[in-house]
Amino acid sequence: MKITKIKENLILFTSHVLLGNATLLKTAKRWILVDTLLLPTDTNMIVTYMKENDIVLSYIINTHWHSDHCFGNRILHKPPVKAIAQAGHRRTLELERNMIKPERSMILEKHLVPEPDMVFEQHCSLFDGLFIPDADQQSTTCEIIHAPGHSFDMSYVWCEREGILITGDNVLAGEEGEVLPPYFWWGDIDLLINSLNRIILLNPCWILPGHGNPVKLSYIENYLIYLENLKIRTTEIVQRGGYSGSEQLRDIFMAEIDIQSVWPERGKTRIKLNKTHELNLYQLAIERVKNSG
C-alpha cells in the first residue's frame, strides 16, 4: 500500500493490486472516504492510518460497485459511518460477480457488501455536514455526480472550492509516464465520452483516477481523442460489411485497430493493459451487431 498525502485534507491510498485507489478527504469538517479497495489487508491499513491520525470517518462514497472499489465496505461501513451509492449500484456488482463466476447464477450475498444508507439518482449534495440526495440546490463544498461510462452507476466526487475531482474508473492511470486506456466493457462509450467532457467543463486542479497516479486535463483530452477515433474506425469497418456475428466483427476490429493507431500520441506513449482496448473493441462489436439487427 502506498500512502500519498497530497494536501492536509487529501490523502490517497494506492493498493499494489492494479494500483487501485481510495481517497480520504476532509470537507466541511467531515472526513469522507471515497472507495474502500478490495483486499482486507489494504482496507485495514486505512483503518490504522485513521486511528493513528485521530481521524473520525463520517461517510463512505463508492464511485461504483465493482469489487475493487467497494469490498472494503465490509470493514469500514459500521455505525456511525454512513455509505452512499448511486441507485444502480447493486446491479453493477451482481453483473461483475456473475461474470467472474459464471457457473453460479447468484443473487449477491448481503455479506459481500452491506447495503448503503443512502442512494441517489443524479447527484448528492453536502450541506451543513450532511449529504442530501437529489437536492434542488447543488453544493460547492462537495457533490457526488452521476457520471456513467465505465459502468452505469459510475459517479464523480467533486469539491468545487478545492478543485478536487475523484473520477472512479472513468479515468485509469498507472505509474509516472504510464497510460491506461479508458475501459467501457461494463458501460457505454457514448456515456463515457459525455462524462469525460464533463471533466473538461469542470476544469479541476486535481484529477484523482480510480487507479494510479493523479492526472492532468491533457490526459482526459487524449482519452476523448482515442474514444472518438474508435467510433470512427469501427463505423468504417461496419459500413464495409463482410462479417457475420459479433465475434467475427470483434476479430476484424482487433486485426485492424491496434491501440497505437487510434491513440493521439502515436509511438510516444507507454500504454499498459492493452487487454482493456481489446474488450472495448469486443463491446463495440456486440453493440454494432445488436443495433444493425
Beta-ladder partners of 84: 61, 118
Q: What are phi and psi of 270, to 5 degrees?
A: -90, 95
> Does the predicted TM-score (pTM) go above 0.85?
yes
Residues 166 and 51 in one domain: yes
- What are the angstrom distances between the C-alpha of 68 and each of 174, 236, 275? 16, 36, 18
Beta-ladder partners of 7: 10
Domain count, the chain: 2
- The residue among 281 and 293 whose pLDDT is bigger is 281
- What are the angstrom distances between the C-alpha of 75 and each of 20, 44, 53, 163, 274? 17, 8, 18, 30, 33
Question: Which residue, 215, 247, 282, sits at the end of a domain?
Answer: 215
Residue 88, domain CATH: 3.60.15.10
Q: What per-residue confidence (pLDDT) applies to 265?
A: 76
Beta-ladder partners of 159: 164
Cα–Cα dist 237/262, whole Å: 14
- The residue among 110 and 97 whose pLDDT is bigger is 97
Which element (helix H / strand E) includes 138? none
What residue numbers bound the domain in which 145 lies? 2-215
Residues 207 and 227 in one domain: no
pLDDT bin (cut points 50, 70, 90) of residue 293 is low
Cα–Cα dist 281/293, whole Å: 18
Instruction: Give SS3 for 7.
Output: strand
Q: What are phi and psi of 230, to 5 degrees?
A: -60, -45
Q: Is residue 136 within 8 Å of 72, Cβ to Cβ?
A: no
Which element (helix H / strand E) includes 157? strand 155-159
Q: Per-residue pLDDT tens for 224-247?
A: 999 999 999 999 999 999 999 999
Residues 228 and 96 in one domain: no
Residues 184 and 264 in one domain: no
Q: Per-residue pLDDT tens for 245-287?
A: 999 999 999 999 999 999 997 666 788 878 999 999 999 999 9
Which element (helix H / strand E) includes 288? helix 274-292
Tell me 109's DSSP state. Answer: P
Residues 57 and 176 in one domain: yes
Residues 162 and 241 in one domain: no
Q: Per-residue pLDDT tens for 161-203?
A: 999 999 999 999 998 888 999 999 999 999 999 999 999 999 9
Residues 160 and 87 in one domain: yes
Tell me 186's DSSP state. Answer: B
Question: Which residue, 190, 215, 240, sits at the end of a domain?
Answer: 215
Residues 92 and 227 in one domain: no
Single-letter amino acid, residue 151: S
Q: Is residue 250 within 8 Å of 277, Cβ to Cβ?
A: no
Residues 209 and 107 in one domain: yes
Residues 198 and 107 in one domain: yes
Instruction: Give SS3 for 129.
Output: coil
Lowest mean pLDDT among 21-30, 99-108, 155-164, 253-262: 99-108
Instruction: Give SS3 for 237.
Output: helix
Cα–Cα dist 129/90, whole Å: 26
Cα–Cα dist 157/167, whole Å: 7
Q: What per-residue confidence (pLDDT) applies to 131?
A: 97
pLDDT bin (cut points 50, 70, 90) of residue 144 is very high
Which residue bears the cell 482493456?
276
Cell numbers found for residue 148: 456513467
Question: Which residue, 189, 215, 241, sits at the end of a domain?
Answer: 215
Residues 173 and 228 in one domain: no
- Output the CA angle 107-113-118, nearest 5 degrees: 105
Residues 65 and 138 in one domain: yes
Helix, strand and coil content of the chain, in percent to the nearest 5, comes to 35, 25, 40
